[in-house]
Structure 1
Amino acid sequence: MVRNIDRFKDFQEKRMAIFSEVVKRYWNGNLEDSKDLNSLARDIREKYDFLEEDMPFIKDHIRVAMGLNPKTNYEFSDEIEIIKNSREVAKPIISKIEGPCEYCDEESCTCKGTCKYEAHIYRRSKGPVIEEGKCLTCGECSNGCDFGALVDKIEFVPLIDLLKDKNTKVYASIAPSIAGQFGKNVTLGQMRTALKLLGFEDMVEVALFADILTIKEAFEVINLVKTEDDFYLTSCCCPVWFNMVKKNYPKLFEHMPPSVSPMIASGRFLKELYKDIKVVFISPCTAKKAEAKEPDLKGDIDFVLTFRELKEIFKTLNIDPEKLKGDDKDQASFAGRLYGRTGGVSFSVKTIVNRLEPRRLIKLKSKKIHGVKACKETLEELSNNEKVDYNFVEGMGCVGGCVGGPRTNIPMNEATNILNETGEDSLIMTPFDNMNLMKILKELGIERIEDIVEENRVSQLLKRQ
């Protein structure tokens, strides 16, 4: 007997519609108890021709849209109370929603083979089983599941009360790959205005903190790569790359300095400069949601939103960045803004290494790898002690880098071109030319750029604890 599954198809779009309705009702004060949640679930059922037997599935998607865990077959009870008292979204990031897998043909299953790590993380039973110890939270499975069986939590609803609280200052920390994601001609200044309308105190470019980490990594390359056999694995940016090395290649992990990512650095520095604030990171990356919850990093970033989620939020609340007056500030260098695409980190670090030691005998020779398969191949090459012609390895889990992330709004090639243009638009060419960076360092007691690698407050902020 063939069972009708049309109501589950194209669920990625339906999922965003559910999220939009949750946001609208909670924002307007129309989602206050379990009665309101049940009313929402019934409206969703009728709108998309779901069956009564699908109600647990619908309710779990409402929970996930609120940043909560699915419960399966449980009625709504204290969800609103939890949200109002919550100041964080807990693990796991990727959840399985019961229901649609029983209709799915295993051979043509949309989530089959989507795991970037290719490590049999998902076993087939009645649907996939997520092995949390192996999952890199790259988001490819949830992005590829058309039936809504695999899904990542959305962290905006617990943030709404904070954005509306006049006594709480919330800063938006944006990834470099945001260029072009909300309209080809939308400037960073217009994004700042849009986010302020949403309730944020201000918007800060994470590329500014990429500038700081670029200088740190340049000094480390100079100190650690002294012979033809030495090599350096950058730890910046990508949590998928970082966790792949840490979990599976412990010997190679020794070549990866304990630096935090620009995202974490942004949260730490902002909280050092401004007391009692909240910091929200906005990017195309599902793995960043998990990174922010790692035990040694927890609390540095309070919430993580994706570009796709923010686009839906703007649409729901009638905020159009393209129609707004821009509040433009050049915070980051050309080099720092390039971190959003493959090769950006290598270019930035090499620029500083050449500036620090123009006559350096051991030249920085980078290998830029993107996509988990390519990352794994290079790590296998290094772990087998094969002779290589590079000494600096930049790894990114997504093809194309962050511009190819699972929750982007525009195609990778288009995003790359716009990001390059946005980088070129900066009046600041390199991290060394960034007076914003120098101002921050001076406020934290650093007078000379060379002191960034000494034991001081800045080096502590840049280091994994």
Structure 2
Amino acid sequence: MITIDYYKNFQEKRMVIFGELVLRYWNGKLNSAEDLNELTEDIKKKFHFTDKDTSFIKDHIRLAMGLDPKGDINFTDELNLVRNSKEITKPIVAKIEGPCEYCDHSKCEENDDSKCKYDAHLYNKNKGPVIVNDKCLSCGNCVSSCDFGALADKIEFLPLIDLLKDDSTPVYATVAPAVIGQFGDHISLGQIRTALKILGFKDLIEVALFADILTIKEAYEFTHLVNSEKDFFLTSCCCPVWFNLTRKNYPNIYDHMSPSVSPMIASGRFLKKLYPNAKVVFIAPCIAKKSEIQEPELKGAIDYVINFRELDEVFKALNINLKELPGDDKDQASFGGRIYARTGGVSFSVKSVVNRLEPERLVKLKSKKADGVKSCKAVLDDLTNNRDIGGNFIEGMGCTGGCVGGPRTNIQMEKARDMVNEFGEDSLILTPFDNLNVMKILKEFDITSIDEIVENKEINKMLSRD
């Protein structure tokens, strides 16, 4: 019997597997099942796994390739599947057999009497967690807290490599506002842009720019829908965990949810309208965004999602040292758009526009902010039971601290929050209303006034769920 030490800290070992995959595939050294078998043996030797663990290692290689685990010791057509892949399919989070028998299950048992925070997968004393995919919100909490690698999310970079090497296909990277500081204290967004261009990306676009556009839309919605002390409005921006938690479990409250898409989805829709042949990749702090792009009403906007931790491993594997790169800096987003990354950022941004639209408004925007699942549930329960929550604009984020506390970030939440605030303050654009980049985009659609964001059918469709 192997000891549990082989499985401990598997989150780090998993990134080593991914890094090796990237390096070999990038350099043309993964061409057959034999090459994948060689990688398996190298990983087993590196971490002292035994032959009993072969299926476990191979399933993690499959997941790192963006494929489903098979529980099979034989590689067959995995590389062909990657080369012919157009998208990563659900489920995003998968269970891998083997390591649960060596775990004391303490991490599985600590949430809500042995259940997932969202009741998505129920704990089984013998076999570990069982994923119920119609309930799973892909929040990533279970994945990031599983030290033994029994739960893992698919990584979407390997199918992207061929696209990045194809000069005929422009690939744009849109980055979440939480990106600042994730690759080093003094690494600028301009240096990250340069690094992504080295990889083959056409350009880096701040998703905060599209947060600015959505802020204006939601501000208009608020002024039209909240006109008495009893009215309230839920923002749908940013967080798919918050959105799906409300949609699946609080149908009466969901009626008050904004129909807006997330800034990520908006970025993909706009870029593909402007550049019809383009592919768009979102750089994220979380796992839930991988699932969001697969929702039927949102599908096609974003092609792949890579998280901060995965991208950091890509840079390391390909020996891209961001500190040595020149910065290609651009001021694309406002202070308000950039602080979407932390709790309260959406509320601040929307309020700044509401106050600009209706400075004498009788019913003022009073925000109620919830971050972390317990806080989100508590607010939704209070609203369901008609309790006064002290606000009429409700902002929810599934992670503590907001996106800066996501399960696939590289630095601590408090540090990330402070860096996002500083990055926001560095912007020369205070509010979304002052962002001339917004008007540059809108002019491409023959819009000359910000008011037309709501009135224009084409723009409104791109900013809304079907």
Fold shared per TM-score above 0.5: yes
CA contact (8 A) 1:12 1:146 kept: yes
1:223 paired to 2:224: yes
CA deviations on 1:333-375 (whole Å, 9 max, x unpaired) are 0110000000000000000000111110000000111001110
Distance, in Å, in 1 between the alignment partners of 2:140 and 2:321 is 27
Alignment of 1:37-186 (within 5 A): 37-106=36-105, 108=106, 110-113=107-110, 117-119=117-119, 121-124=121-124, 125-186=126-187
1:431 paired to 2:450: no
Residue identity opposite 1:415 in structure 2: A
CA contact (8 A) 1:116 1:372 kept: no
CA deviations on 1:385-409 (whole Å, 9 max, x unpaired) are 1133210000000000000000000
Tell me the number of residue pairs that the alignment of Structure 1 and Structure 2 aligns.
462
Distance, in Å, in 2 between the alignment partners of 1:310 and 1:3 is 32
Provide the secondary structure at the position in 2 that maps to 1:385: coil
Please report the TM-score for the alignment, with normalisation by the length of structure 2: 0.97
Report the counterpart of residue 24 of structure 1 in structure 2.
Answer: 23
Residue identity opposite 1:94 in structure 2: V
CA contact (8 A) 1:371 1:399 kept: yes
Residue identity opposite 2:351 in structure 1: K
Distance, in Å, in 2 between the alignment partners of 1:181 and 1:62 is 25
CA contact (8 A) 1:403 1:415 kept: yes
Provide the secondary structure at the position in 1 that maps to 2:53: helix
Report the counterpart of residue 245 of structure 1 in structure 2.
Answer: 246
1:73, distance to aligned residue in structure 2 (A): 2.3
1:321, distance to aligned residue in structure 2 (A): 1.5
Distance, in Å, in 1 between the alignment partners of 2:237 and 2:98 is 39
1:133, distance to aligned residue in structure 2 (A): 1.1
Alignment of 1:31-430 (within 5 A): 31-106=30-105, 108=106, 110-113=107-110, 117-119=117-119, 121-124=121-124, 125-430=126-431
Provide the secondary structure at the position in 2 that maps to 1:325: coil
Segment drifting more, 227-236 vs 322-331: 322-331
1:457, distance to aligned residue in structure 2 (A): 1.0
Q: 1:174 to 1:5 in 2, by over 3 A?
A: same
CA contact (8 A) 2:120 2:131 kept: no
CA deviations on 1:128-173 (whole Å, 9 max, x unpaired) are 1001111111001111110000000100000000001111110000
The list of structure 1 runs, each at least 4 consecutive aligned residues, that deviate by more than 6 angstroms after superposition, is none
Provide the secondary structure at the position in 2 that maps to 1:23: helix
Distance, in Å, in 2 between the alignment partners of 1:390 and 1:347 is 13
Residue identity opposite 2:78 in structure 1: E
CA contact (8 A) 1:179 1:418 kept: yes
Distance, in Å, in 2 between the alignment partners of 1:59 and 1:126 is 20
RMSD after superposition: 1.2
1:116, distance to aligned residue in structure 2 (A): 6.1
CA contact (8 A) 1:259 1:464 kept: yes
Segment drifting more, 444-453 vs 417-426: 444-453
CA deviations on 1:106-127 (whole Å, 9 max, x unpaired) are 3x3x333357625363231412
1:456, distance to aligned residue in structure 2 (A): 1.8
Please report the TM-score for the alignment, with normalisation by the length of structure 1: 0.98
Provide the secondary structure at the position in 2 that maps to 1:376: helix
1:294, distance to aligned residue in structure 2 (A): 0.6
Distance, in Å, in 2 between the alignment partners of 1:169 and 1:118 is 38
Alignment of 1:439-454 (within 5 A): 439-454=440-455
| Residue ranges of structure 1 left out of the alignment (5+ in a row) | none
Provide the secondary structure at the position in 2 that maps to 1:294: coil
Q: Identity across aligned pairs (percent)?
A: 63
Distance, in Å, in 2 between the alignment partners of 1:116 and 1:429 is 40
Provide the secondary structure at the position in 2 that maps to 1:395: strand
CA contact (8 A) 1:268 1:300 kept: yes
Report the counterpart of residue 5 of structure 1 in structure 2.
Answer: 4
Provide the secondary structure at the position in 1 that maps to 2:109: coil
1:322, distance to aligned residue in structure 2 (A): 1.9
Distance, in Å, in 2 between the alignment partners of 1:122 and 1:424 is 44
1:74, distance to aligned residue in structure 2 (A): 4.4
CA deviations on 1:22-79 (whole Å, 9 max, x unpaired) are 1000000000110100111011111111110100000000000000000002410000
CA contact (8 A) 1:139 1:285 kept: yes
Residue identity opposite 1:416 in structure 2: R
Distance, in Å, in 2 between the alignment partners of 1:118 and 1:69 is 23
1:204, distance to aligned residue in structure 2 (A): 0.2
Provide the secondary structure at the position in 2 that maps to 1:449: coil
Distance, in Å, in 2 between the alignment partners of 1:388 and 1:326 is 45
CA contact (8 A) 2:118 2:137 kept: no
| Residue ranges of structure 2 left out of the alignment (5+ in a row) | none
Distance, in Å, in 1 between the alignment partners of 2:189 and 2:389 is 40
Provide the secondary structure at the position in 1 that maps to 2:370: strand
1:94, distance to aligned residue in structure 2 (A): 0.3
Provide the secondary structure at the position in 1 that maps to 2:339: helix
Distance, in Å, in 2 between the alignment partners of 1:112 and 1:93 is 22
